[in-house]
Structure 1
Amino acid sequence: MSDDHLIEHRLSQEELLHGNFLHAFRDTVRLPNQSLATREYVVHPGAVMVIPMLETPDGLRLVLERQYRYPVGQVMIEFPAGKLDPGEDPFLCAQRELMEETGYTARQWVRAGVLHPVIAYSTEVIEIWFAKDLTLGERQLDSEEFLDVFTATPAELMAWCRDGQVTDAKTLTGALWLQNVLAGDWPLTWQTLP
């Protein structure tokens, strides 16, 4: 089945912003019906999100963060995540972000999939990683990073998603993955680090 009847073709491009982190453009495109339109979007370097699963004597707990997010002006509950550095391997980024933000390292990892959090105006892609067999060490936060690390049960996280306490798109997607993994509906093939 062809998608040709849906595809837009770029005719010109104007750079709007070239910041330290984001790069914004306005393109003129030809629509499938041959009309012209503009598309404004942000080029993003990509990111990872980690779903850290901590086995405790009381059962499974998830490692989460509370962090103030300036654009929305509120403290958000999130899974650990971070952007890719230029040329960085996503798996190495996942390991780095987990350790830097939470202090945890993991012996078992699996890449679950990807998500596009804001397809209407950004190229951002976030890789979803699961981590378990966790060991706590020292956090190494960036100088401009302030966040609280805490744990919660899967049931607590699902209730917060349901009740609107968790509204972060990547964390909601992570909760969907987690729910299906725990139910046995979306099996994962774990890799153990040496």
Structure 2
Amino acid sequence: MIRRFGDTPEKSQSYRRRPGVYALLPRDGELLLTCQREPGPDIQLPGGGIDPGESPIPALHREVMEETGWTISQPRKLGAFRRYAYMPEYDLWAEKLCHIYIARPARRICAPTEPLHDAIWMRADAACEILGNAGDRHFASIIARWMAQT
């Protein structure tokens, strides 16, 4: 069973399953994150939906590049969680299946190509407090504890 974070799904609402991949990108005590400026500032793990026919690892590379402008290396899956949310950009009620990976930020190639996204570096402990959803905060706290021990 995959752990759920966030709001309980409404029984009267129909949800479409939306698998996605998200990255924890630690370096020197910080995490590389993305800030989505609209509809309001939201600090997030870089990542997003897996396109039809796309595999998770290529989707992870693509999403991190789009939202941060960085390449990554050595992705390893940490776990997964689900959350139920309304996605206004798609006018969609979604059951989001969030697959979480840890990877090395390898090289900055360009600015983020995803509109209204900025790449930011933040101390891992601060990220645990500010990330926009409870599932992201949970996995970031695991990495923050690991980083504090190394």
- State the TM-score bracket (shorter-chain normalisation): 0.7 to 0.9
- What residue is the counterpart of 1:155 in the other structure? 125
Relative contact order, CA 8 A, sep 6+: which one is greater?
Answer: 2
Q: Alpha-carbon deviation of 1:136? A: 1.2
Please state how far the C-alpha of 1:89 moved relative to its aligned partner.
0.6
Q: Which has the higher helix share?
A: 2
Specify every segment of 5 or more residues in structure 1 that has no aligned partner in the other structure, as ranges. Answer: 1-37, 185-194
* Distance in structure 2 (CA, Å) of the matches to 1:124 and 1:157: 21
Q: Is the 8 A contact 1:108 1:133 kept in 2?
A: no
Given that 1:111 and 1:127 are in contact with CA atoms closer than 8 Å, whether structure 2 keeps it comes out as yes
Encode CA deviations 1:12-48: one digit per residue, 9 max, x unaligned: xxxxxxxxxxxxxxxxxxxxxxxxxx64221133111
Residue 53 of structure 1 and its aligned partner are, at CA, apart by 1.6
TM-score w.r.t. length of structure 1: 0.59
Q: Post-superposition shift, 1:122?
A: 4.2
Runs of 4+ in 1 over 6 A off after TM superposition: none
Amino acid at match of 1:155: D
Which of 52, 72, 88 is 2:54 aligned to?
A: 88
- 1:64 is matched with which residue: 23, 33, 37? 33
Structure 1 segment 7-22 matched on structure 2, within 5 A: none
Partner of 1:166: 131
* TM-score, normalised with respect to structure 2: 0.74
Specify every segment of 5 or more residues in structure 2 that has no aligned partner in the other structure, as ranges.
1-10, 86-92
Structure possessing the higher radius of gyration over alpha carbons: 1
Match of 1:137 in 2: 109
Contact 2:21/2:49, CA 8 A, preserved across alignment: yes
Instruction: Tell me the percent identity.
Output: 21
Give 1:180 deviation, angstroms: 4.8
